[in-house]
Chains A and B, each alone.
Chain A
């Protein structure tokens, strides 16, 4: 199969041929009590080193300093140019819940006649399960950079027909040719965000505690963390100085992070992604949050609460801030690819993107909608300036990278242990 040699020089590779004895040597896995999942994942191949199950061979894991051009397979070519969007009843979208403005969906429906139906998921693990399940066909999906290679090599995504995406030039130059998908063949950016701690400034006394606000017993029963293994464990690593590399494959670091999370259980921690609403209506006082949540919270405020009562904490040093983005892609099995292209093109349009941002609070990486523009537009109040993201932040911030399944399973197993009551 085609394989671009220029992408393999420095990018780490995953070869799905780890043998049982390799893993048994690394007995730390089992000793750390992380469950059998990593063992099983590593046993993906048989001892003879034959064809690994399901995998097509090695695929590169993209890094900012080792960008990857994803291949276009013979049996997965872009669709033909110049076609009209299909006339269907529904455009099926796989996305986080409450991540797209109802107005934008209604406008699209008026324009093309197709209702935008969103099937929600809580994290990428669920998203992968839903998109790979036979029978459920989706037209548009919103993955992040940390699952791109795997989805492309797993033939889950189809490459774009670039001639339909005329609005791609609106995006930040960094995102027209990102490190995880050089040439924007499979993805365009949807939003950029940082991860920090959202809090109620009228209740929280000392926001400078930062991440450790979540471990403060004063807020017991009123705090939560994100329902995402990487985000939660990564935050625990940063909060307690376990390591600065939140993509680490070191089982001891992951285990230590899990132990810290376990300390939250007696404090009544909840695990969900509804903080945009629950911080606003007072159900939670502190919650691990993405930057856009605090901007969107203004739509969910309870009686007597104003945006002044909300706060968003991120580390002062930009180099310590966890930063990321979501992409828009088209699944390979989409029944209406031309319509999907039209939808994505619309989302890259400045006016529509602004309307979307107005509702969901997450910044789209479009050049026109920069920080000043958004602040002048009154979308972001003074006390939430920390929620604004600028292109320079991406140079320095900490990002989530795609990991080998073995490492990722360690994170997922640890998080599952934590969610089952901590052990």
Chain B
């Protein structure tokens, strides 16, 4: 039978005049099921991109794993592997132990390393305790305040985020050594510096959350009889808790990892933090004890990250979207 409009040989209608299905003649063989050459298949698996991505991830993370590996190296070298030992962590007391006098913990320890670790952790905690309330209050105030001065304050608050730390560090160094001499370099200066750059992080995170929450819940609460203060306290703040918590963890991690501002403000060896110690020691006399210290710091920040993920995930239980997305969005 011929059909209107179809030219291809063998392309006959699939139904006959009574509407019954007519299978195609056996001479027409179907192509191998589902095979389309990759370059013509728009829905193919993205091999190239996947390779690039996994390649990047390996390139990004394997060196760090190697550094962790060398923290267990049984020789003073940081580049040639000689065997496994935990001497660099603890305790370096035996005579002849390669880590004698230079391990992180233990009786045979190098006090500088442990001191640096303690300084870093203390500084991180104090910074978080000070920065989070100030930053959250600033976020609340700026987002809800509707006047021209608030726009100016807005702009000022975002600048620390985009200023390179070198500029911030030099500026603080100069002003603390000339104007704020009562404060002087050292722990107090470090706290001031760390809080200053943390406030911007917290501002961005909490404000992002505030904007996405919007006014409705508070207005609803007020419609139901709450005063403004009650509405804020019982409705808004609880909704902000994940953002506040995430910003606290990020502040802690940023403070632990901060190098430039700490390098300018630490003053003397008693206030040295881990990143500054790593930097100066790499230039002088690096040993695997540095790798051990770096690994411990890594464990610290990873714990903070894990904690954030778990808490976000618990709060998100039952809701769509992954906590990781939250975190990534929060990073913005």
A and B touch in the complex (CB under 8 A): yes
Q: Which of these, A94, A97, A272, contacts B268 with CB under 8 Å?
A: A94
Say whether, besides A92-B269, A117-B270, A135 and B101 are in contact (CB < 8 Å). no
Chain B contact patch, size range: 20 to 34
Closest-by-CB residue of A relative to B178 is A134
Q: How many angstroms between the C-alpha atoms of A137 and B267 in the bound complex?
A: 8
Task: Let me know if B284 is at the binding interface, CB within 8 A.
Answer: yes
Closest-by-CB residue of B relative to A115 is B111
Q: Which of these, A94, A97, A130, A134, contacts B184 with CB under 8 Å?
A: A134
Interface string of A269-297 (1 = CB under 8 A from B): 00010100100000000000000000000
Task: Let me know if B285 is at the binding interface, CB within 8 A.
Answer: yes
Closest-by-CB residue of B relative to A89 is B270
Q: How many angstroms between the C-alpha atoms of A133 and B111 in the bound complex?
A: 25
Q: Which of A78-100 contact B (CB under 8 A)?
A: 90, 92, 94, 97-98
Interface string of B277-292 (1 = CB under 8 A from A): 0001001110000000
Say whether, besides A134-B181, A135-B176, A136-B186, A119 and B285 are in contact (CB < 8 Å). no
**Which residues of B sit under 8 angstroms from A277, Cβ to Cβ?**
284-285
Q: Which of A115, A119, A130, A134 has the most CB of B within 10 A?
A: A134
Task: Let me know if A315 is at the binding interface, CB within 8 A.
Answer: no
A120 and B280 within 8 A (CB): yes
B184 and A133 within 8 A (CB): yes
Q: How many angstroms between the C-alpha atoms of A150 and B17 in the bound complex?
A: 113
Task: Let me know if A211 is at the binding interface, CB within 8 A.
Answer: no
Say whether, besides A133-B177, A134-B181, A117 and B269 are in contact (CB < 8 Å). yes
Quote the shortest CB–CB distance from A98 to chain B (angstroms): 7
**Which residues of B sit under 8 angstroms from A135, Cβ to Cβ?**
176-177, 181, 183-186, 188-189, 267
Task: Let me know if A118 is at the binding interface, CB within 8 A.
Answer: yes
**Which residues of A sit under 8 angstroms from B189, Cβ to Cβ?**
135
Q: Which of these, A90, A97, A117, A133, contacts B185 with CB under 8 Å?
A: A133
Quote the shortest CB–CB distance from B278 to chain A (angstroms): 14
A130 and B268 within 8 A (CB): yes
Quote the shortest CB–CB distance from B111 to chain A (angstroms): 6
Task: Let me know if A26 is at the binding interface, CB within 8 A.
Answer: no
B284 and A117 within 8 A (CB): no
B267 and A133 within 8 A (CB): yes
Quote the shortest CB–CB distance from B169 to chain A (angstroms): 14
Enumerate chain B interface residues (CB-CB to A < 8 A): 101, 111-112, 115, 176-177, 181-186, 188-189, 267-270, 280, 283-285
Q: List 28 A-B contacts (CB under 8 A).
A: A90-B270, A92-B270, A97-B284, A98-B285, A102-B101, A117-B270, A119-B268, A119-B269, A120-B280, A120-B284, A130-B267, A130-B268, A133-B177, A134-B181, A134-B184, A134-B185, A135-B176, A135-B177, A135-B186, A135-B188, A136-B267, A136-B268, A137-B268, A138-B268, A272-B283, A274-B283, A274-B284, A277-B285
